[in-house]
Amino acid sequence: MFKIITETITGEEVREAVEGPDAGAVVLFLGTVRNNTDGRPVKCLEYEAYPPMAEKKMAEIAQEISDQWGIDRVAMVHRVGKLEIGEVSVAVAVASPHRKDGFEACRYAMDRLKQIVPIWKREVWADGEAEWVKPDAVFFDAPKPHKTASQID
């Protein structure tokens, strides 16, 4: 499951998508809307995506995980539109035979999502201003197109 959606994300949808009898661990990551950025109060976030390309790139990340860890049970959904504080913007689930690989692969999936999946975030500040978020230096300078998890760290 690799989807851009407008509905509420609970995490259940990705967890169910990866479950299977060969799994000994399911790692579930939920990204949520925080009420501040570097101390500045945030009112809400607005996400925009290029859905067909975003879903294609998510599937490519899953392929990278399959190549690197041999894990084939990966699911990702990202919500777009206006999200209130505390709501889930992104969910990643990875099912693996053992937890170590699952944790690593889940982290890798999120790192890669922030590098290559065409999704953009607009911060609406509590004072009424709004701006498109610029990526941090790590990802801004990231070589294209591929990095491994160890290089990111």
Partner 1 sequence: MNVTVKYFAVCHEMLDRSEEEMELPDGATVRTILKRLEEEWPEIAEFYEVMQMSVNWEYATENTELTEGDEVALIPPVTGGCDV
Residues near partner 1, by CB under 8 A: 31-34, 37, 47-50, 52-54, 56, 78, 89-90, 110, 113-122, 132-136, 139-140, 144-145
Residue 33 contacts residue 82 (beta carbons within 8 Å): no
For the CB of residue 11, give the shortest distance to partner 1 in the complex, in Å: 14
**For partner 1, which is the closer residue by CB, 91 or 95?**
91
For the CB of residue 19, give the shortest distance to partner 1 in the complex, in Å: 23
Q: What are phi and psi of 100, to 5 degrees?
A: -60, -50
For the CB of residue 78, give the shortest distance to partner 1 in the complex, in Å: 6
Q: What are phi and psi of 95, to 5 degrees?
A: -110, 130
Around 91, how many Cα atoms within 13 Å sit in the side-chain half-sphere?
24
**For partner 1, which is the closer residue by CB, 97 or 118?**
118
- How many CB atoms lie under 10 A from the CB of residue 47? 20
**For partner 1, which is the closer residue by CB, 40 or 98?**
40
Residue 117 contacts residue 57 (beta carbons within 8 Å): yes
**For partner 1, which is the closer residue by CB, 18 or 116?**
116
Whats the size of the chain, residue-wise?
Answer: 153
Peptide bond before residue 143 is cis, with ω within 30 degrees of 0: no
For the CB of residue 121, give the shortest distance to partner 1 in the complex, in Å: 5
